[in-house]
Structure formats: C-alpha cells, structure tokens
Structure 1
C-alpha cells in the first residue's frame, strides 16, 4: 500500500499493547512473546509508538471508517 501523504510503500504490520502501558508496531513477520523493552521491540524491526513511561496517553490520529485505515504520527 502506498502512503496517501508521500506515496512511498507502507509496511504491513500490527499495533500491539504492552503490559504496564505503551503501544508498539511490529511487522507481520515478527513476534515478541512477553512484555518487552524498547530495545527488544526495535531489535525485531518494531517501532515504539507510546513509551510505557510516557504520561501522555493520547496521540492524534486520522481514521477513515469506510476503508478502515488509521494514520497517526508517533
């Protein structure tokens, strides 16, 4: 899928929640089985979206209910 903003190829993956707080994205081909550190997430080609130590608990995001896409900055 191409990014609607810059037209570059987007990577398919999943957004996961971390016990104790935080969100991260992992490519579909990667898996982490337990509560993990930022270093482990990044070692598995993941991106930390919300750090577990952040106080900020909301991030701006745009959603299209029709095509079920979410675009957010992290």
Structure 2
C-alpha cells in the first residue's frame, strides 16, 4: 500500500490490544474490561489465542511519515 501522505510504500503489520482493538475519542486507562469514556469504534473482531489471548487489527506503517493507516 502507498502512503496517502508521502506516496512511499508502507509496511503491513498489526495493532494489538488485550480485549479488542478500538479507536476512542478520549485517551483512557485500559482495564480488563472495555467500559465507559466517550464514543469508541471497535476496529476488528479478530481474536488471538481464544478469549484471553487479545485482539489484532491489520495496520499499514509509513516509517517516513510516522503514520499508521487502519481500515475498519
């Protein structure tokens, strides 16, 4: 994928989290359960290693721009 900011080739990877991968309006402490604190959007349903293994969302990295692009 080409970076939408600089046009360089981006590197495919993933963003991971304990209980789901979310974008949220406000930064908050990540607890065992995702509760409270503004609007949020779950970015991916992919689970790693069962219910306690965490979650992952595909993400593209541009090292030149220091940007990450995630489609949900």
Common fold, TM-score beyond 0.5? no
- TM-score (normalised: structure 2): 0.44
Instruction: Please identify the structure whose Cα radius of gyration is greater.
Output: 2
Higher helix proportion: 1
- TM-score (normalised: structure 1): 0.44
Higher strand proportion: 2
Larger RCO of the pair (alpha carbons < 8 Å, separation 6+): 2
